[in-house]
A and B are shown apart, each in its own frame.
Chain A
Amino acid sequence: MDSIELARSVRLTALDLCHSKRASHIGGAYSVADILAVLYADVLNISPLTVDNPERDRVFYSKGHACTALYAVLNACGYLKGYDLLKEFTVNGSYFTSHVNHQIPGVELSTGSLGHALGVACGTALALKRKGNAGSVFTIVSDGELDEGSNWESLLAGAHHALDNMILIIDYNKIQSFGSVEEVLALEPLADKLRAFRWQVTEVDGHNHDELRKTLAESSLARNGLPKAIIAHTVKGKGVSFMEGQLAWHYKSPNDADYTRARAELEA
Chain B
Amino acid sequence: MVDAEALTAWVREFARLVHEQRDELTRLDSAIGDADHGANLDRGMTAAVAALDAQSAAGPAAVLKTTATTLIKTVGGASGPLYGTFFLRAAGALDGVPDPTDPAALARAVRAGLDGVVARGKAERGDKTMLDALGPACDALDEALAAGKPLDEALGAAAQAAADGRDATEPLVARKGRASYLGERSAGHVDPGAASATLLVQAAATALAGRG
Are chains A and B native binding partners rather than an unrelated pairing? no
Q: Which residues of B contact A (CB under 8 A)?
A: none
Q: Which residues of A contact B (CB under 8 A)?
A: none
